[in-house]
A and B are shown apart, each in its own frame.
Chain A
Amino acid sequence: MQDEALMRQVAQGDQAAFSTLYDRHAPVVLGVLIKIVHNRALGEEILQETFWRVWDKAASFDPAQGKFTTWLFSIARRLAIDTLRRQKVRPAAADSAAQALQMERAPAEGSVSDDADRRIRRDAVRQALGQLPPEQRTVLELAYFAGMTRREIADETATPLGTVHTRARLGLRHLQDALAEHGWEEA
C-alpha cells in the first residue's frame, strides 16, 4: 500500500498502518538523523518524536501538498536541527564527521522489497551526487545535514555569499538532471 493511503488509515487511528510506515521509513530517517546529530541515542529519541508527530498530525497531512516522505523528512530534519541549535553544537562537515562516528550499521528490517527499493534509490542518488562538482555538493550538504544558514555556509567555506547562492541553485539543478538521468523517483 502506498504511503499516502496508509496515512489516510493512520489519520483514522489505524495502528497497523502506522506500524507499516514506521518499518518502511524508520531506518532511513534514523540514518539521516544520526548524520545530523552525530549521536545514535539522540537520533533514536528524535526518531521517536518524529513518528509521534506523524501520528499526532496525521490529519493535517495533505498529499496534494507533497509526498509523505518529504513531509516526514522535513519533520525529522527540523527536530534534529532544533536539537543541534539548542545544544549549540555545530557539527563538522558531514563527510569527515561521519567517518569519525562510531555507528552500528545493520541491514534494515521491514520487507525485502522495501530494502531493495531503498538500495536502488540510494545507488541512483549516489551516482547522481557523484556527478556534482564538490563545491556545489558541499553547499547542499551543509545546508541540509548541518542545518547551516547561507551566511554560515559562506563563513564555513570561506566563500562569498553570492557564490554560495549560485552553488546552491546550480547544485540543485545539476542534481535534478543527474537524478533524472539515473531514473530516480521519490518514494
Chain B
Amino acid sequence: MNIEELLPFYALDALSEEESAFVEAYLAAHPERAAELEAMKLSSSALNYDVEPVVPAPHVKQALMARVAATPRAAAFARAQTPPPNPAPQRWWQRLREAWALPTLATAGYALAAIVLLWTLGVRGQLNTATSQVAALQAQVANLETQNATLGAMRDNLQRQLDEQQLLLAIYNSPQTQSIAFGGTEVQPAAVGRLTVAPDGATAVLTVGNLAALAAEQTYQFWLIGADGPVSAGLLPVAADGSGTLLLQAADIAGYDAVGVSVEPAGGSTQPTGDIVMLGEL
C-alpha cells in the first residue's frame, strides 16, 4: 500500500479498515505528517457545509432526549444539580426558637394560603361576572345591529313607496295625462282596469280590480301589444280583494295598439302563454 495514495482518502474517511489501520500505523511512526493530514481533513470536512441544512422533524429530538434522559449519567447529573439540605448543627436556643416559630409560621402560612385562596375565588367570581356581562352586551349589540338593518330596509321600502305615490300623484294631477279604461275578457268578465299614461308618454300607472285569486305558482302579467306582438310590461301583483297597481315605464306607450293581462307561471314569461283575462285598445 502506498501512503501517498491512501492519505487523501483517509482524510476523506473513505478507506477500508485495513487501509485505515495501515495509515494510522504510518502516522504513529511519522508524526511530522500529522499537520498535512489535519489540513486535508479540514478541507474534506468543509464539504459538509456545501449541503443545504434540513430541519429534522420534532419527534426525532423528542425521542432522542427521552432516550438520553433515561440514562444513569443524566439522572446523576440532575441529582448533582439539586442543592443539598443544610446540615449545619443548631444551638439549643435555635432549636427552641424553631420549635416556637415553626407552628407559628405554619399557622401564618395556612392563614396566608386561605386569604390567597379566598381572594383568588373572589377575583375569579368577579372575572366570571364580568365575562358574562361582556357576553350579554355583545349579544345586545348584535341584536341592535340586526334591528338597525331591519329598520334601514323598512325605511328604504317606505321611501320607495313614497316616491311611487308622489309619481302617481304627479301623473294623476297633470292635465295632459291620458287615461284608458279596459275590461276583462270572457275568462274574467268582471275584471276592470285603467291605464293612466303620463304626459311624457313613457310612464304609466295601471290599476286593476275584480281579478280572481291565482294559485301560488301563478302570476298576472301585463303586456303592451304593438305591431311586433306583445311586450312584457311587468308582473302585476294583485291583492286578495282582486285589486292591483303597477307603475310601468316604457318608451312611447301611446305608440302601442293595445294592452292585456294574462295568467302566467310564477316569475312571468317572455310571451303570453296562459289565459288572457283583460284586454283593451289604446
Question: Which residues of A are at the interface with B, using a C-beta cutoff of 8 A?
Answer: 12-15, 18-19, 22, 26-32, 34-35, 40, 43-44, 47-48, 51-52, 55, 66-67, 69-70, 73-74, 77-78, 103-109, 118, 121-122, 124-126, 128-129, 140-141, 143-145, 147-150, 165, 168-169, 171-173, 175-176, 179, 184, 186
Contact = CB atoms under 8 A, between A and B. Distances in A.
Contacts of A48: 60, 63-64
A94 B77 CA distance: 43
Interface residues of B, number: 46
Contacts of B41: 66, 70
Contacts of A126: 50
B53 A118 contact: yes
A19 B42 CA distance: 25
Contact of B54 (A27, A66, A148): A27
B57 interface: yes
A31 B54 contact: yes
Contacts of A168: 8-9, 12
B187 interface: no
A125 B47 CA distance: 7
Contacts of A30: 53-56
Nearest to A58: B73
Contact of A32 (B8, B14, B38, B48): B48
Given A47-B56, A106-B55, A165-B8, A149 B14 contact: yes
Interface string B35-65: 0001111111111111111111100110111
B43 A175 contact: yes
Given A44-B60, A149-B16, A122 B71 contact: no
CB-CB nearest 10 A-B residue pairs: A13-B77, A27-B53, A13-B73, A143-B14, A31-B51, A168-B8, A175-B43, A165-B5, A143-B12, A125-B49
B123 interface: no
28 contacts: A19-B65, A22-B64, A27-B55, A28-B51, A30-B54, A44-B56, A44-B57, A47-B56, A48-B63, A66-B38, A67-B45, A77-B13, A109-B55, A125-B47, A128-B46, A140-B12, A144-B13, A145-B47, A149-B16, A165-B4, A171-B8, A172-B8, A172-B12, A173-B43, A175-B43, A176-B43, A186-B42, A186-B45
B86 to A, nearest CB: 25
A98 to B, nearest CB: 9
Interface of B: 4-5, 7-9, 11-16, 38-57, 60-61, 63-65, 67-69, 71, 73-78
B40 A172 contact: yes
Contacts of B14: 143-144, 147-150
A169 B13 contact: no
Contact of B61 (A26, A43, A147): A26
B54 A103 contact: yes
A15 B74 contact: yes
Given A70-B41, A73-B48, A144 B12 contact: yes
Contacts of A149: 14-16
B15 to A, nearest CB: 8
A124 B43 CA distance: 12
Nearest to B76: A13
A172 B39 CA distance: 9
A28 B68 CA distance: 21
A169 B48 contact: no
Contacts of B39: 176
Contact of B46 (A118, A165, A175): A175
Contact of B44 (A12, A78, A118, A172): A172
A168 B4 CA distance: 11
A40 B11 contact: no
Contacts of B15: 149
A56 to B, nearest CB: 8
Given A27-B56, A55-B68, A143-B9, A69 B45 contact: yes
B53 A140 contact: no
A122 B49 contact: yes
A34 to B, nearest CB: 6
